[in-house]
A and B are shown apart, each in its own frame.
Chain A
Amino acid sequence: MMKKHLTVIARDQCIGCLSCMFACSRTWHEALTTSKAALKVRSYTGSEGNFSIRICKACLEPECVAACPTGALSQKENGALQLEAKECVSCKICVESCLIGGLAWDEEFSRPLPCFQCGACVRYCPNQVIAMTREETDNVD
């Protein structure tokens, strides 16, 4: 199935301004912070350096959904995750099961921060680092 989903298309162009994280937190939580964002920008050391952007790529068979012991986390037809907060037992297994680190965690409420694939992060990225694409992508840049 070809779904429209977020892709990091130019990691090397990231300037680390965190504008995407602020946008995500504002859009879905009306929160003036980066801590409610469903994606993460991290300073990354090592030979490649720069920043690393961890986004939910709306997997075809999401590991996070499969790992959720209560069924609180599910995926909609368009690839977006959704969380039934009442069913969440804060086990964090979903976050740990996502090998690419694409599912963020809400420290305040101890539950995952699902990505709704809305594109707010794309809208507020000044350097075209993230895009909504229709291609199936196996790798996070």
Chain B
Amino acid sequence: MWTKILEIDLTHKNFRILEEEELFHQAMGGTALATHLLERYADPAGDPLGPDNPVILAIGPFSNILPIATKTTALFKSPHTGELGETHAGGRLAMAIYNAGFGALVIRGASSDPVVLDIDENQVIFRSARALWGQSASATERILRARDWAQPGKKSILRIGPAGERLSTYACATVDTQRHFGRLGLGAVLGSKKLKALVIGGNRYQKITDKKRFKGLYDGIYEAVVSSGVMRKYHDLGTAGNILKLNQNLGLPTRNFNQPWFEGADKISGEVFGDRYLSRQIACAHCQCGCIHLATLREQFHEEHGFKTFQVSYDFELIYALGSNLSIDSPDDILRLLHKVEKEGWDAMSLGVTLAWATEAFLGGLIDTTQTNGIILHFGDADTYLKVLDQMARQTTDFYRDLEKGAAFCAARYGGRDFAITFGGNEGAGYMTGENTFTDWLMGPRHSHLDGAGYAIDLECLTTDLSLEEQVKKLVAETRFRMLLNSLVICLFARSVYQEEVILEGLNLLWRPCSSADLEIFNQETLQRKYTFKMKCGWQPNLIEVPEKLSRVITSTGKVDPESIKKRAALYWREVGL
């Protein structure tokens, strides 16, 4: 693994390369390394959209080298929650950062004018991006992909759409073909720095040191990925296959979490998308699974056989956010919304939950047509939601500007806090499975369903008798273990492939000698470091707020009791051990 960090200063348009062997030896890579760097570079009290908020991109010891170590972690102070911002993305970025010879990038300062970073193994060129400012995330990639810049080999392109330029606090940053640093507003942080895009590549590489041992490790992982069947579902229907499963288990959020069952689920299932809309699956670099599902949507724009087609990626979370949670039961409509979201560069989940809040607020009389420019919001109306997205993109009223700041912000301004489905300021994901999920989102380091997979524990509780204490311990144990997975940095879809013995063999070959006990300490320290940063930002574990509405609805595991969640949160915090 590489032990160099590329530090870029956008304010002064310069860069330096730091050799950090000791830090990589201690912090491995990915999320652990990035947390160390966040401590070094970020002011927890600082403005997330100010020049001093660093963006840290980190890869791990398996990146580019082993199958499905495809992710890059991004850490920053989130403009959406005001505390730890963490999000992961695939594509070719991890490979390209490796090829450029770096283990991490730190982007500091802010440019006065729009800029594109052109990075290879020897230099960073600061190119003016005035002409790119305002371009969609999709067009930006097309334009930059065609430039004949200096990067040898395969290059990766990270960019923001107009939503990031407008500083929408849930703007995402897009990587290559529709992969995203989706959550917590990395797009806005890049927008505040006037950093429209980053193009990176290079030709650096390392040699295999122990060929026989490496081949044994590699082939074992390869066969598990390709032949064992454990990853088949991700290639086949993809996560969209969860629509019907969750619906059957009363866990699919519908109409702003009003109910856990969507009457139109059969029409927007992974099976329907797979049978009728899927045009192909593609893969991140060095992932033999290929889980990126691209749908083709054909639309007639002229009566005389004038057609246009879009290719849009989809997965479970997107179908939930812009489908069931908005009561939209047409795949065509969901894809039309996603196409717009892709171009603007919003986080689809936060956007969907915010639109759902807005609809309920409108129906409840908290907002009216004077604020919406005459638009009447109601669930199930995709054409109206498309108009809303257009109004947001054009910032036609204060209300539409506010919608770009998320459900919690809007609820604070207009009312409706009880039905703003946010957890620690972040909008909920597509699981209405019960208290483990909600505890996960409230207490997890990044308020994400990917923190501890609480939904899986809820579903396990349907068939297994686990005490409340056992459930919480399981949740925290999973969250802790993911510190390791996210430091490596593997795609979490491959978590069943990367069992501890595989990880240890890989680390002993590619990082440094370590044992199972070493990893336990590593995971615990990493988790605690994250919480320490969060608390320095002002987050407090005892000040959690469960959206009141959730105590009135049914979930997979029955009714949710806010007092029980508070008890779980206290237990969770005890397990964290700070």
Given known contacts A35-B152, A124-B222, A15 and B283 CB-to-CB distance under 8 angstroms = yes
Given known contacts A15-B283, A50-B280, A126-B226, A30 and B154 CB-to-CB distance under 8 angstroms = no
- Flag whether B211 is at the interface (Cβ < 8 A): yes
State how many angstroms separate the Cβ of B101 from the closest Cβ of chain A. Answer: 11
What residue of chain B has the Cβ atom nearest to residue A20's Cβ?
Answer: B288
Chain A, residues 15-49, CB within 8 Å of chain B (1/0): the string is 11111001001100111111110000001000000
Contacts of A35 in B (CB 8 A): 99, 152-153, 203, 205
Contact (Cβ within 8 A) A17 B203: no
State how many angstroms separate the Cβ of B209 from the closest Cβ of chain A. Answer: 9
Given known contacts A35-B99, A35-B203, A126-B290, A30 and B282 CB-to-CB distance under 8 angstroms = no
What residue of chain B has the Cβ atom nearest to residue A126's Cβ?
Answer: B288
Chain A, residues 115-134, CB within 8 Å of chain B (1/0): the string is 00000000010110000000
Cα separation A124 to B145 with both chains bound (whole Å) = 27
- Flag whether B65 is at the interface (Cβ < 8 A): yes
- Flag whether A61 is at the interface (Cβ < 8 A): no
Given known contacts A35-B152, A107-B203, A15 and B282 CB-to-CB distance under 8 angstroms = yes
State how many angstroms separate the Cβ of A56 from the closest Cβ of chain B. Answer: 19
Chain B, residues 278-299, CB within 8 Å of chain A (1/0): the string is 0011111111111000000000
Q: Name the interface residues of B200-217: CB closer than 8 Å to any CB of A.
A: 203-208, 211
Cα separation A18 to B290 with both chains bound (whole Å) = 11
Partner of B286, one of A12, A18, A50, A127: A18
Given known contacts A26-B208, A124-B222, A126-B288, A34 and B154 CB-to-CB distance under 8 angstroms = yes
Contacts of B289 in A (CB 8 A): 17, 126
Contacts of B153 in A (CB 8 A): 33-35, 107
Band of interface residues on B:
20 to 34
Given known contacts A16-B283, A126-B226, A30 and B207 CB-to-CB distance under 8 angstroms = yes
- Flag whether A108 is at the interface (Cβ < 8 A): yes
What residue of chain A has the Cβ atom nearest to residue B66's Cβ?
Answer: A32
Contacts of A36 in B (CB 8 A): 205
Contacts of B222 in A (CB 8 A): 124
- Flag whether B182 is at the interface (Cβ < 8 A): no
What residue of chain A has the Cβ atom nearest to residue B92's Cβ?
Answer: A18
Contacts of B406 in A (CB 8 A): none
State how many angstroms separate the Cβ of B71 from the closest Cβ of chain A. Answer: 14
What residue of chain B has the Cβ atom nearest to residue A12's Cβ?
Answer: B280
- Flag whether B67 is at the interface (Cβ < 8 A): yes
In this complex, the member of A30, A32, A35, A50 whose beta carbon has the largest number of chain B beta carbons within 10 angstroms is A32
Contacts of B269 in A (CB 8 A): none
Cα separation A36 to B206 with both chains bound (whole Å) = 11
Chain B, residues 213-241, CB within 8 Å of chain A (1/0): the string is 00000100010011000000000000000
Given known contacts A16-B283, A17-B284, A108 and B203 CB-to-CB distance under 8 angstroms = yes
- Flag whether B327 is at the interface (Cβ < 8 A): no
Contacts of B286 in A (CB 8 A): 17-19, 22
- Flag whether B64 is at the interface (Cβ < 8 A): yes
In this complex, the member of B145, B206, B288 whose beta carbon has the largest number of chain A beta carbons within 10 angstroms is B288
State how many angstroms separate the Cβ of A50 from the closest Cβ of chain B. Answer: 7
Contacts of A126 in B (CB 8 A): 225-226, 288-290
Q: State the A residues within 8 Å of B (CB).
A: 12, 15-19, 22, 25-26, 29-36, 43, 50, 107-108, 124, 126-127
Identify the 9 closest CB pairs spanning chains A and B, nearest first: A33-B205, A15-B290, A17-B283, A126-B288, A15-B283, A30-B208, A126-B226, A35-B153, A35-B203
Q: With A33-B64, A50-B280 given, can you name 14 additional A-B contacts, CB distance below 8 Å?
A: A17-B285, A18-B95, A19-B286, A29-B207, A32-B206, A33-B99, A33-B205, A34-B285, A36-B205, A43-B145, A107-B152, A126-B226, A126-B288, A126-B290
27 pairs, A vs B, C-beta closer than 8 Å: A15-B280, A15-B283, A16-B282, A17-B284, A17-B290, A18-B154, A18-B286, A30-B207, A30-B211, A31-B206, A32-B64, A32-B205, A32-B207, A33-B203, A33-B204, A34-B285, A35-B99, A35-B203, A35-B205, A36-B205, A107-B152, A107-B153, A107-B203, A124-B288, A126-B226, A126-B288, A126-B290
